Every structure is written in C-alpha cells, then in structure tokens.
Amino acid sequence: MNECLVETEPQKFEWLKRNMLRAVTASGIGGLVARMRAEGPHILMYHGVSARARRGLENCEGKHVELDIFVRQLQAVAESRRVIPLTALIAGIRSGETLRDAVAITFDDGYENNVLNAAPVLAELGMSATFFLATGYIGTDRWLWVDRLEFLLNRATCNQMRLPGVPFEIPLRTLADKQRALRCIKEYVKMRRGGNTIDVIQEMEQLCGGDGTPPYGDYRFMSWEQVRQLADAGFDIGAHTVNHAILSQRRLDEAKREILVSRDRVVSEVGRCSRVFCYPNGRAGDYTPEIARWCAQHFDAALSAEYGPVRVSDLFQLKRIGVCNATTAENLRRELPKTG
C-alpha cells in the first residue's frame, strides 16, 4: 500500500552522494548534511507482522513484515535511537525540543497480527507504539479492498481479464503477471474520483470465482477485545477513519464524519483515543489542505505516509519512514545513524 525503506537504486545514489560530500568537502558542508539527516525525530510506519509463510501472491509487497525480520529491524533501531511514545514525540516538537535521537513506532489499519505478533516483541524490547484503526473493520469479517484484490488475483485461473473502464486486457499467466496486475489495478482504483471500489471488486469476484471466504491469517482484523488488550498493555490507539477512506475523494462533510466517527468509536471502546490522527493511504493527494486545517481543530497532529523526518512545520502532515519486509537492518542503520 505504501512505499517502504528498501535498497533501491535512487537510495543507493543518495547514499553515495552523502559519502562523496563527506570525503571531498573540506569546508565541513558534508558533515553538516550528515548531521541534518541524522538529527531530528523520526516516525516508523508499519502495517503488520506475519508469522505465516508467503503463499503465491499473499503479502507479495511485504507490508506484513516477517516476525524474525521485524525483531532484527527493532534491534537495529535500538542500537542508535531512543523509542518514545508518539504522543511524547509530538508534545516535544510542539514545545521546541530537538529530540534528535527519538523514534516513534506506528501501525496502520488494525490487523490482528499487530496484537498476536508485533505487540509481544515490542513489549519484550520495552518499546512503545501507536496502533491506528480503520474502525469499521475491527471485530468484523470485512476485507480491506486491496487485500480482497490480492486474494482474488492469487486464486485466479484465467490467463487474462478485462475490468470496467480499463481499455486493455490484463495478463495473469504467471505470478509475475499477477504481481504487475495487482499494482496496476490498485493504482487505477485509487485514482478514480469518488473512491468507489465496489464495481471493480464485484467484477473480480465473478472473474476469479469469489466464494465468500472471510479474511484469514494476515488479512484478518483485530476484535475490539484485542484492541482493549493492546490499550491495557500500555499501547496507544488512534483513529484511521471508519472505512479507510481516501479523504480527498470524499465530500468534506463525509471526510469529517469518517474521521470523527472513527475517533469516537475508539473512545467508546477503549476509553481514550490518541490526539494524533492518521490519514488513510497518506500520500499528498489523499487529503486536502482543507482537511488538514480541519484536523488541526480536533487533533494535536496528523500523520501522512510521505517519506522524511519529523518537522514541527509539518504538524498536520507529518512524514514517516515506511518499513516493509524488504527493509533490512542495514537500511535502518543507514537511515537512522547514531546522533552522537
């Protein structure tokens, strides 16, 4: 669903550029660039932690991090940074603290594997985290549409398909074809005004033989009892809308309702809700400046899924570092070097 920190060619170039500056700049500018990158707090963005072996298309984009990789990632973070609650990080930057060695950990959506797999590791390592819930999925057998799409494509036996509004046939002969189809269809649906995914998923159900299978494994969401277990264990719970709505594609009144109903449901079930809101999908075009200004009236901060360090000037579109299964411990060490 979101880009994450992996070893890509652009990142290799950035790493090389930073090291060239350190080597050739006698004036100290290279050291300044390195310090600027290292200093300031950061927020890590996760979605899930999996104890399941990958099967076909399942988790092909790695948004559910394998359990052993998750442990190594957190150990790498702990080597150079101090993990603090997200609320403490927000309060600190609002009051002018530098917090240059601070990191907060977040999880989006509310998958059951958060409580089954992630929370025990976090607790063992003494690390805090905030879990942002799409409340309309908690305690239900609803599929998040991107997960249903992945499930349907995984079981597809046809060699190709055509979807409403797509002027070409989509090949599905190999696993690589299905991976490309998954990315293509997701982007197509996300760009559609109104955010209506029902017709696409219904067409996929007919083409791929959907049988009413409820979410299972890493596709399943928490129950409200499990959410309360997280809260009782000291973790923070936040709002992520009711239906994981892309807010820029909704009327303003609908967007406000998605946000407030989600927040109020968390309060009613848990007794409290984080004063930080998390935009679904979270890219710059997925919420509007008007929505961000409105959030400022109801929350202390809001999180995007854009990449970067935390800056007080971005208080209602705070950047994060996406972490997925392809993120190595070395990726994190390089991104979060020791600050001194």
What pLDDT does 193 receive?
56
Strand, helix or coil for residue 132: strand
Residues 116 and 27 reside in one and the same domain:
yes
Say if residue 268 is exposed, middle or buried (CB neighbours under 10 Å; 0-12, 13-18, 19+).
Answer: exposed
The two tokens of residue 143 are 């599929």
Q: Of the residues 186, 208, 230, which one is the last residue of a structural domain?
A: 208
Checking DSSP bridges between strand 130-133 and strand 102-109, what pairing results, if any?
Answer: parallel
Residues 252 and 329 reside in one and the same domain:
yes
For residue 298, tell me if it sits in a domain.
yes
Residues 114 and 225 reside in one and the same domain:
yes
- Taken as a whole, the chain contains a residue count of 340
Domain of residue 22 covers: 9-142+220-335
Cα 332 from Cα 76, distance rounded (Å): 7
For residue 1, tell me if it sits in a domain.
no
What pLDDT does 35 receive?
43
Residues 118 and 197 reside in one and the same domain:
no
Residues 258 and 194 reside in one and the same domain:
no
Residue 131: give its domain's CATH number: 3.20.20.370
Cα separation values, 285 from 30, 31, 202, 247, 282, Å:
33, 34, 26, 9, 8
Cα 197 from Cα 189, distance rounded (Å): 6
What pLDDT does 220 receive?
98
Q: DSSP class of residue 239?
A: E
Assess contact for 207 and 156: CB atoms under 8 A: yes
Residues 251 and 171 reside in one and the same domain:
no
For residue 215, tell me if it sits in a domain.
no
Count of domains forming the chain: 2
What pLDDT does 3 receive?
62
Cα 223 from Cα 115, distance rounded (Å): 10
The two tokens of residue 8 are 């890509």
Residues 196 and 233 reside in one and the same domain:
no
Give the predicted TM-score (pTM) of the model: 0.88
Residues 111 and 19 reside in one and the same domain:
yes
Residues 130 and 151 reside in one and the same domain:
no
Residues 94 and 224 reside in one and the same domain:
yes
User: Could you report the average pLDDT of every consecutive run of 10 residues in the chain (340 residues)?
Assistant: 54 40 36 48 98 89 96 96 97 93 97 98 98 98 94 89 76 92 84 65 77 92 98 98 94 97 98 98 94 97 96 96 96 86
Residues 15 and 133 reside in one and the same domain:
yes
Cβ neighbours of 157 (radius 10 Å): 8
- Quick one: which H or E segment has residue 157? none
